[in-house]
Chain A
Amino acid sequence: MEVTLKVLRFNPETDTESHFEEYKVEADPMDRLLDLLHEIKWYQDHSLAVRRSCGHGICGSDAVVVNGVNRLACKILVKDLPSEITVEPIRGMPVIRDLVVDMEPFFAGYRAVKPWLITDDREHEPDRERIQSPEERARFDDTTKCILCAACTSSCPIFWSDEEYVGPAAIVNAHRFIFDSRDSGADERLQILSSKNGAFKCRTAFNCTDACPRGIKVTMAIQEVKQAALYRSV
């Protein structure tokens, strides 16, 4: 079958504005959208810039806007798409070229929530295993699935309008440690997320939950973080 791809292109060296370019691609219904982008880049127009690494939905490199919604190009199949497909770079971050955006504003929010294990004893190396029960592990299981693809944060209307907002992905990754029984940095993180540009900027638009290619209940995680911040304040 033949599908038409409309790709939003931008070349910083020649363009002042981005524009759509159309490509006709011969595709199999079981092809991924990523295969079609490869087809264009390898055989039709070498100048197309695309980010991808693993191609199997785990590296988080190829989040794009497909027919208006955020998806991983490697996780969406041609059979689930109409015969005319529009592909745009993810929103809310500066476009470097074509489908490649500058992810640094996204990672600035991520770094702000200290996404690493914080323990009480920071002087000494641990001398025993940090034991955790299956129930304790299950408490934050959902948020361990994040692959930092930015599909959630770049779908968030608050992040579009205000890049100072830490964004849903940062809160998801804070949740992953706040509710981890081995971690003792919950207070530090909740303090950061209680600030002006933290979790309370979320207006529960649910775009993030819809966008997450890993099926994380992002909005629910954010609400749990808000609740924890409130209980900490009482």
Chain B
Amino acid sequence: MLVEPACGGVNIRGMATIEEVYRKKKPKAFEADRSPSKVEVWWWFFMRLSGIVLLFLVLIHLYVMHLVDSGVERVNFEFVAERWDNVGWKTFDWVLLVLALLHGVNGLRIIIDDYVHRPGVRTAIKATLYSATAIAMIMGTAVIVTFDPTVGG
């Protein structure tokens, strides 16, 4: 018997359609998540904005902490106390902390999504990453907010 091809996805004489045949061979390409969501749009935009802001923040940070005077050698409690007496520097450091953390972690999230395919492993790695981020964010914020310049005496 002459077998007619199933063309254009149309089911001819009960034959499997092309899509049905290939679904079995390479299912992921057909079952890709295309549900509406703007999350990636916003993260993408955040990466552009934070990237530009971080460029300046990081350069200023490097200049102030590592180049001026004797650089990092002079950083001690008095230096930090004096610097954080100023709300502007506190804000600067906090913004640097938040943007750098989120920018870096989002980059790692994207790499994990690209290269870790087993759902369990992916969830485990992401859970570890997000926990570490939360801890760093909370501790950093707590230090800046609760810093007491008189402790060192």
A residues contacting B by CB (< 8 A) are 94, 102, 104-105, 108-109, 112, 158, 161-166, 191-192, 194-198, 200-201, 203, 226, 229-230, 233
Contact = CB atoms under 8 A, between A and B. Distances in A.
Given A104-B29, A105-B26, A105-B29, A194 B114 contact: no
A162 B114 contact: yes
Nearest to B113: A162
- Of the listed residues A105, A109, A166, the one surrounded by the most CB atoms of chain B closer than 10 A to its CB is A105
Contacts of A196: 33-35, 37, 39-40
Contact of A164 (B32, B35, B40, B44): B32
A108 B33 CA distance: 12
Is chain A's binding surface mostly helix, strand, loop or mixed?
helix
Contact of A226 (B34, B37, B44): B44
Contact of B45 (A105, A108, A158, A230): A230
A200 B26 contact: no
Contacts of A229: 41
Nearest to A103: B22
A163 B37 CA distance: 19
Contacts of A197: 32-34
A102 B25 contact: yes
B36 interface: yes
Shortest 7 CB-CB contacts between residues of A and residues of B: A105-B29, A164-B32, A200-B40, A104-B22, A108-B29, A163-B29, A197-B32
A109 B29 contact: yes
Contacts of A109: 29, 32
B44 A230 contact: yes
A231 to B, nearest CB: 10
